[in-house]
Amino acid sequence: MEIQMNKLRLKTKLTIDIFLAAAFLFNIVTALMLLFNTGGGGRGQSNVLVNLFDFSSRSSLRLIHNWTGLLIIALIIFHLILNWRVIICYFKNLLRSAKVAKVEQTCKNV
């Protein structure tokens, strides 16, 4: 039972980390597109889905950028919650002036 819980926890951590990396990359791309997009954008269409995926529109880029930013915040919170024991273990050992190799060894199975 405990092995299955550890596998589920590991899969959850991995999934959150993958989504976090993807959202982070997408956020960087939209930030660069916003930075270098000087056009007014938009084709005057009123369809929300068409405007959402119109990457020449600054408003749709800003919308996507903002939502991926919020997604990153939520995923970071989940990441911290799932890795809290390991983080605390590392900080406790670092505060005790332990060597890095010793910190990794003592926190490996947390």
Beta carbons of 58 and 41 less than 8 angstroms apart: yes
Closest-CA residue to 16 (of 27, 8, 6): 8
Environment class of 75 (CB within 10 Å of its CB; exposed 0-12, middle 13-18, buried 19+): buried
State mean pLDDT over 93-107: 63
> What's the confidence (pLDDT) of residue 8?
87
Residue-wise pLDDT for 35-76, tens only, equals: 887 665 545 444 555 555 566 677 878 888 898 999 999 999
Taking the C-alpha atoms of residue 27 and residue 69, their distance in angstroms, rounded to an integer, is: 7
Does 103 or 36 have the greater pLDDT score?
A: 36
